[in-house]
A and B are shown apart, each in its own frame.
Chain A
């Protein structure tokens, strides 16, 4: 699972108010190189929750994203490379996503998060 997916998921357990962002417990992270698309990144820059992406990438062992950013940083190729890497090339292969409010763990196996809710959570 890429961090772009992580950035759009939230815990939807019944009663939970702030289910975003899910905390990442990383046991195994894999990197897969993909071609960079700067236009796409620029569009995504406005849509991602930056703090969630920075925290998620750190949980995955990648610490190169700056904490504070504004849109002028998009002129920097170095920044775009880092943003691209964090957003699309890091994959959580084994571990868990944890609901920030309840601590409920959603396990991630073979890169696939199991977000199925129990009957009493729906």
Chain B
């Protein structure tokens, strides 16, 4: 599977028709999702050029949700407002083999993009969880159309009961906690208990120190690394926007749960 192919397939996925702001729903766009997942593939498939961005649709939409704007017209939004900046220093080693032939769980899957990406990249078993039945219905149609076997569960990620250490990797684009403070860290806490190998997650860069400290000290992660920073500017578009431009930055993290050493394959 080439990155372009993956992005193309993800681009065909159906997204939220009526997003629920209280759940901080926004699609994980094909560009971000495909790159997020490619990061976790073995080295041979990886090239630094994957981190040169052309579209930041999903993050922009996420931002729109953060500022509380009506979502609908944004679904067709294609323009690039941001510049995607990523440190090239760590790129060569940012490929860990955390998806192929693994058991992967997508927490707060929404319309299923990250889980679909994992399945397309040869995860052996994908388990996608969301609280919202309408999202799950769309997600399962998305999986079916690509003939992927993905298991879906309707549950609050924070309430689900787990046994054993079967899940290797958790991938997630969690709620940023705008509606419910700390929601992203609540998700992270559970993810670090459930995953045995790695957790990939997006968090606001403004919370970077807090995320790192909390992951290492409170959730006992054995490592917490920012793989890349997604940074973009949003020009004034709404009457309630006070500033001319808003700069928003999000980190893609890789966490290693307690008692598992970082493995670079």
Contact = CB atoms under 8 A, between A and B. Distances in A.
A10 B161 contact: yes
A112 B152 contact: yes
A88 B160 contact: no
A116 B161 contact: no
Given A49-B163, A112-B140, A2 B149 contact: yes
B162 A40 contact: no
A60 B152 CA distance: 18
Contact of B163 (A9, A113, A116): A9
Contacts of B44: none
B153 interface: yes
Interface of B: 101, 103, 124-125, 127, 131, 133, 136-137, 140, 149, 151-156, 159-167
A4 B154 CA distance: 17
Contacts of B156: 116-117
Given A4-B166, A47-B165, A112 B154 contact: yes
Interface string A106-118: 0000111111110
A2 B125 contact: yes
A40 B149 CA distance: 16
B161 A112 contact: no
Contacts of A34: 149
A10 B163 contact: yes
A112 B153 contact: yes
